[in-house]
């Protein structure tokens, strides 16, 4: 199973930048999208079905043009779980899960902490999400949680760890949370295969950051420990430029 995760920063904008042609070239089995910024009825779904993704599921935020996640799949999932059942999370369309033959794939869009109010919201979300996953793992042990976590875990994951140490996305409390989340039974699949620096998934649109590779690694495919022996590869697809993020890919047997 080849899974791609991509914060598209607006699916309609990405479609206008050649997203479908790119998707056909990469040819994943399952695609997790974040920050779709659209309602399902605003999209021409035939674009996805013609590309082979006959099963596509959209979970939009209640607020138009904001947040939202989706899962596109070639094969019909055994089950789709929309949201977490935690209302304040689900209002913003941040979690969608598809189950395939004993493996559950989640598209996650964790909030950013752009100001104090949103940082409090993010920290609450992080705590509640971890509890939710601890419970979910009991019934669905084979979990792959793909998406934009809006956190850099280690200094190696950000271009300037010193100057960004007090910026949301690299705060000690956020880094501690993602470390604890991994330690609770997950594998950061990219780091499982690649320990090299200068590998990022998001770049500011300012100051020519992408061309200078001044980025942050905010996007992860977290794979639960029971799937460790089935991990084949996990890579960052930095050549794709439909967004301020780039996609990531994880493959399991």
How high is the mean pLDDT in each 10-residue block of the chain (253 residues)? 98 98 98 98 97 98 96 98 96 98 98 93 97 98 98 98 97 98 98 98 96 98 98 98 98 97
Nearest to 106 by CA among 76, 81, 78: 81
Stated as kind and residue range, the H or E segment containing 207 is none
> Which position among 44, 99, 120, 148 bears the catalytic label?
148
| Helices first, then strands: H and E counts in the chain | 7, 14
Q: What's the pLDDT at 95?
A: 98
Give the domain range for residue 200: 2-252
pLDDT at 164: 96
Residues near 189 by Cβ (< 8 Å), separated by ≥ 6? 220, 221, 222, 223, 231, 234, 250
Q: What phi, psi does 138 have (nearest 5°)? A: -65, -35
- Tell me, rounded to whole angstroms, the distance of Cα 91 from its chain centroid: 18
As a whole number of angstroms, the distance between CA 51 and CA 27 comes to: 9
Determine the pLDDT at residue 131.
98
pTM value is: 0.98
| Number of domains composing the chain | 1
CB 45 within 8 A of CB 76: no
User: Phi and psi at residue 34, in whole multiples of 5°?
Assistant: -130, 160
Verify whether residue 134 is a known catalytic residue: no
The CATH number covering residue 202 comes to: 3.60.10.10
């Amino acid at each position: 199973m080849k899974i791609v995760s991509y914060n598209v920063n607006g699916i309609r904008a990405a479609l206008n930048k050649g997203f479908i042609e790119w998707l056909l070239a990469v040819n994943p089995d399952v695609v997790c999208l974040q920050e779709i910024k659209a309602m399902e009825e605003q999209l021409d779904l035939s674009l996805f079905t013609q590309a082979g993704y006959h099963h596509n599921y959209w979970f939009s935020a209640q607020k138009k043009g904001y947040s939202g996640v989706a899962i596109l799949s070639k094969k019909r999932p055994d089950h789709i779980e929309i949201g977490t059942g935690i209302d304040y999370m689900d209002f913003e369309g941040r979690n969608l899960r598809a189950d395939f033959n004993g493996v559950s794939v989640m598209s996650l869009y964790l909030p950013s902490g752009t100001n104090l109010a949103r940082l409090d919201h993010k920290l609450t979300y992080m705590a509640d999400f971890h509890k939710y996953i601890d419970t979910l793992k009991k019934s669905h042990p084979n979990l792959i949680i793909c998406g934009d976590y809006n956190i850099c875990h280690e200094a190696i994951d950000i271009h300037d760890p010193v100057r960004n140490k007090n910026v949301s996305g690299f705060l000690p409390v956020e880094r501690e949370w993602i470390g604890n989340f991994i330690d609770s039974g997950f594998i950061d699949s990219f780091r499982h295969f690649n320990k090299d620096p200068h590998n990022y998934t998001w770049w500011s649109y300012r100051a020519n950051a992408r061309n200078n590779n001044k980025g942050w690694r905010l996007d992860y495919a977290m794979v639960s420990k029971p799937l460790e022996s089935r991990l084949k590869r996990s890579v960052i697809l930095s050549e794709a430029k439909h967004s301020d993020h780039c996609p990531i890919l994880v493959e399991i047997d």
